[in-house]
Amino acid sequence: MALLEIRDLSKVYQRDAQRIPVFEGINLNIVAGEFLVLMGPSGSGKTTLLNLVAGLDEPTTGTIRVSGAEVTAMSRRDLAAWRSHHVGFIFQLYNLLPVLTAYQNIELPLLLTHLSKQDRREHVMTALEVVGLSDRADHYPRQLSGGQEQRVAIARAIVSDPTLILADEPTGDLDAQSAQDVLTLMQRLNDEYNKTILLVTHDQRAADRGHAIMHLDKGVLTG
């Protein structure tokens, strides 16, 4: 059974009388352990699709299931709880909280669990180790390079051990070397930790790291 199942998914914006479809009738299956890359021109709806999968936005029609749970049918409250367990989100601009240290940023998703302070510490330190930033735990985002910030963001995305990692152009703002480091890290998450990844990118070299590439263009998804 597929980990992620998208059926007849449509997102249509309505502006006055005008219908602005982003995409219509999209179908997609992702099995557990997959590393799928999604490419497509700007404005084709890649971010929209990720937001829908994470339950951050509502589709016009269609269903999304993750591990059998129907995301598109959940209440806002259930979605928040579900998201904290099942989805790790990585953004192009890292989106760390500037007033918190690397450690505290990574700890945020764990605050939602019943873990003790001590257990949270263990999880955070493990995540920091995975991304190779154990020595930067007490640094604030402004004291880190872009590549390091993104690795902290990745640590935050994996710290609660989610089923699915969604990455929206995670290397879009990084220099070549940092981008390679981040991609290598994501590949390791897939290989060693068996994380299922859906990566959106414009960068062909990034795309080559995945198992398969899908293209989204003019509302149509092709493999």
Ligand X SMILES: Nc1ncnc2c1ncn2[C@@H]1O[C@H](COP(=O)(O)OP(=O)(O)OP(=O)(O)O)[C@@H](O)[C@H]1O
Q: Minimum Å distance from CB 58 to another protein?
A: 9
* CB burial string 46-76: b at 16+ within 10 A, e below: bbbbbbbbbbeeebbebebbbeeeebbeeee
Which does residue 43 touch among another protein, Mg ion, ligand X, none (CB within 5 to 8 A, set by kind)? ligand X
Residue 2 engages another protein in binding (rule: CB under 8 A) = no
CA 139, distance to chain mean position in Å, is 24
- Chain residues 91-130 in contact with Mg ion, contact rule CB under 5 A: none
The pair of structure tokens assigned to 150 is 């993104």
Which does residue 99 touch among Mg ion, ligand X, another protein, none (CB within 5 to 8 A, set by kind)? another protein
Q: Minimum Å distance from CB 216 to ligand X?
A: 7
d(CA 50, CA 41): 15
Apex CA 185: angle with CA 180 and CA 190, to 5°?
Answer: 125
x/- mask, ligand X, residues 31-50, rule CB under 6 A, reads: ---------x-xxxxxxx--
Q: Furthest-apart CA pair in the chain: how many Å? A: 56
Which does residue 140 touch among ligand X, another protein, Mg ion, none (CB within 5 to 8 A, set by kind)? none
Q: Which is nearer to another protein, 1 or 142 (CB)?
A: 142
3-state SS, 59-77, equals CCEEEEEECCEEHHHCCHH
Q: In this chain, which stretch among 2-10, 33-41, 46-54, 130-138 interacts with another protein, using CB under 8 A?
A: 46-54
Q: Which residues here bind ligand X, judged by CB under 6 A?
A: 13, 20, 22, 40, 42-48
